[in-house]
Structure formats: C-alpha cells, structure tokens
Amino acid sequence: MSTSYFQSIGRIRFEGPETDNPLAYRFYDENRLVAGKTMREHFKFAVAYWHSLCNTGGDPFGPGTKAFPWLSASDPIQRAKDKMDAAFELITKLGLPYFCFHDFDLVEEAESLAESERRLHAIADYAKAQMASNGVKVLWGTANLFGHPRYMNGAATNPDFAVVAHAGAQVKIALDITMELGGENYVFWGGREGYQTLLNTQMKRELDHLARFLGMAKDYARQNGFKGHFFIEPKPMEPSKHQYDFDASTVVGFLQSYGLDQDFKINIEVNHATLALHTFQHELQVAANAQMLGSIDANRGDYQNGWDTDQFPNNLLELTEAMLVILESGGLQGGGVNFDAKTRRNSTDLEDLFHAHIGGVDAFARALLTADAILTKSSYSTWKQERYASFNEGEGLLFEQGALQLGDLFNIAKRNGEPEQRSGRQEMYENLLNRFL
C-alpha cells in the first residue's frame, strides 16, 4: 500500500464493553462462538464501496462536503487505484472480511462500452493482487443500472430494446469482474425497473422482460462456473414511483411465477423495508418463510422522513427482533451484512467512517448476543410454541395434515361451542425483549 489515508487510526480491536476507547469494538469479538458459529461467520460484514469510498455527501440542495483525498488524482485509473488503496486500508483496519461494489464504483464509466470494460478489468487486476495478500473478499458485486441517463426509462424493463441490450452488456461485464474477484454472490437492485406512470407502461410485458433478463444473467454466470447466489433487493419506490421488486412478498411471487426461485434469493435492506411500510423483521420473516433469506443491506431510516436516509444501524431493539428471525431460520443463506449506509453530510472527518462502521458492527453483535440469550435462556420459544399447541395433537393435528374437510370444522365447532378466550400477551413478549436488551 503506497499512501496511508487513515494514518492516525490503527487496527480496530475488541476491547470489551467497559473500554473508554471510541475506536474499539465493545461487543464484536470476531472469534466468539454464539449459537455454534463465530461472530465473523454469523455476519460476514461488508463495507459498501459506493457510500464509504465514493459518496462525498451531495444532496439535491448542495454539493458534496467531504474532501476524500483518494478522489483527487486527475487520471481515472489512478483515481480508482487510490480509492481502492483507501478501501482496503479502511476494511483491514476495521477487521471486516468483505466489501460490496457496483461496477462503476470501482472505476468511472468511460465514453464507450469497450473502454469501460478495459478500465474495469484493469482495476479488477489491481484489486485481485491486493486481495491475495490482505485476505479481503467480495460478498457481492452488482451493476449500476440506474445512474446513467440512458436508464431513465428503466434497464431490463426499458421499452427500448437497445437499452435492454446495453444493460445486458453491463451485467455481463459486472458478472465477469465479480467472478474474477471470487465474489460469493451477485445482486440485482431494480432502481429504475418500475414505472413513473402506468399511462405509458405495458406492465406485464416489462415484467416478462425482467424475468427473461434475470434468467439470461443467471445462465451466463452458471455456464462460466459461478456457484454463488443471485439476490434480488426489494425496494418499493425511489427513484421510480413504483418498483417491480416492491417488497419481499412481491419478489417471492415474481421469482416463483417465472421459475427463478432455485437460483435467486433475497437481499433485505432495512430502510427499504420501512419505505414499504413494513418492519425489517417482517421482511426477513417473509424471505425466510420462502427459504430465500440470503443477505442483508444494513442501515436504518428515519421515523420522521419518508425517504431512504441510509443511516448506519443503531437501533438495538429493531436489530434484536431481526436477529431472532435470522437465528430461528438458520442464518443467512450465502450472504452477509453489507453496510449500505452513509455517514451524514456534515460528518466530514475521515474518522467518522470508522465510528459509523464500529457502531453498526457493535449494534449487530450486541443484538446477536441478546437474541441468542432470549432463545436459549428464556421462555420465549416455549411461549410461542405453546400458543399453537392445539395443532400438535387430535383434530388440530389432523387439520394441519390436511385430513379434515370444511364439514368437519362445522361439526367440531358445533360440538365445542364458543372457543375459550386466549390472550396474545403482546406486552409480556415486549417486556421479555427489553429485559434481555
């Protein structure tokens, strides 16, 4: 590594809950065993290249505020290399195992597809050499199919085939790069795959195109030896008025109806869940029900703002509820926890990138410990089981087994009379969670 961008900061280490050092982990002890796996294995934490290395804080009301020193070189390849040096310094100092990227986070898109491809391969070679020595890995790669003006009417769902083909070319190159870097998964987030108005949109045709496109990408990657998972990342809106990957439920239905459910799983993002008026816990549970809980984009929204604020996660209660679902469903399938989160526009010190990640990592670690304690040391699971005890034997069991008809329900109800009232005991469950937090 040539230049150090975070010179005053050393390797962030686990120092335990009592430490006074803000640049230390209090709960994330990577080798600590919890529920049969190390914390490192549970989470597979990843730094998101786009927010932490590329995003200087511009918003619709003003330009970027962060003078990232790795973005100052005038040559795009040199700038990309500097950015990558900074990325690996950040990731290794945080002691995190992975990163995630869009194609044009790594290096800026060029005027032509051929030149963009050349640039991407050049920076991938540079990454590969460093990854061999620093041990950092790619959790997932993706293609940015939403930023360039050509995608203003969609990428895979664009009404113009020329644009669909261009998107396909971009995905092919992004898959090549992801595979070259040993990426474990590949993500599709459909930022512009949706509509602004149905008046100009053939929705069924666009959905068919999306499924065809995803199938082609999957076939290409499989033919080239890719063994990882493909993830769809649901989001209801923003930038489109309505996005086709609205929420987990919509995506499960889409994947099943187009026969893509064997290869594709879901990447749940916290702030996307809340934009869809769901909780994070709800989205995780829906994905888990379909055996499709693949990965997480970790962040949080703001209860007063109606947009994707992408803040670093810090809500222990919400994260504990999430970790309960993740532990109960057997963990993330293939994926990990990617910090798709940005420091605030006025968090302008380079050190803020460290505080943000440390806070997010520790919040997840603490939530894991809390959820594990709830599952192993409390009556939580027993209470939940007992709530459904009437299906464990007798006629309830026959119902679950499909051995009863509607007429049988009629006879049983007539015989039993009015059912006894049974409390849902929500407050008791809520108190239990707070007791363990």
Residues near Co ion (CB under 5 A), total? 3
Residues marked active site are found at: 102, 105
Q: Which residues of 173-202 are buried (b: 16+ CB within 10 A; e: fewer)?
A: bbbbbbbbbebbbbbbbbbbbbbeeeeebe
Cβ pair 336, 40 in contact under 8 A: no
Q: In this complex, which beta carbon is closest to ligand XUL, that of residue 102 or of residue 166?
A: 102
| Pick from 94, 183, 117: nearest CA to 362 | 94
Tokens of 102: 């869009």
Query: Site size for ligand XUL, by CB under 6 A?
Result: 10
Among positions 96-115, residues that touch ligand XUL (CB under 6 A) are: 102
Q: Which stretch binds Co ion (CB under 5 A): 163-171, 208-216, 297-305, 372-380?
A: 297-305
Q: By C-beta, is 34 or 53 nearer to Co ion?
A: 53
Which member of 66, 83, 192, 235 binds ligand XUL (CB under 6 A)? 235
d(CA 74, CA 80): 10
- Would strands 229-232 and 242-243 be described as parallel, antiparallel, or unpaired? unpaired
Of 29 and 297, CB closest to ligand XUL: 297
Of 32, 11, 30, nearest to 21 (Cα)? 11
User: How far does Cα 211 stand from its chain's mean position?
Assistant: 21
The only residue of 269, 308, 321, 372 in contact with Co ion, by rule CB under 5 A: 269
User: What whole-number distance in Å separates Cα of residue 340 and Cα of residue 282?
Assistant: 19
Helix axes 203-223, 161-180, angle to 10 degrees: 30
Position of tokens 């070189």? 73
142 binds, among Co ion, ligand XUL, none (CB under 5 to 8 A by kind): ligand XUL
Q: Is 29 in the site for ligand XUL (CB under 6 A)?
A: no
Q: Note whether 44 binds ligand XUL by CB under 6 A.
A: no
Q: Please identify which residue in 85, 184, 308, 321 interacts with ligand XUL, judged by CB under 6 A.
A: 308
Question: Do residues 154 and 192 touch, judged by C-beta distance below 8 A?
Answer: yes
89 binds Co ion (CB under 5 A): no
Name which of Co ion, ligand XUL, none residue 362 binds, using a CB cut-off of 5 to 8 Å depending on partner kind. none
Out of 189, 195, 231, 246, point to the residue binding ligand XUL (CB under 6 A). Answer: 189
Binding site for ligand XUL (CB under 6 A): 102, 142, 187, 189, 233, 235, 269, 297, 308, 340
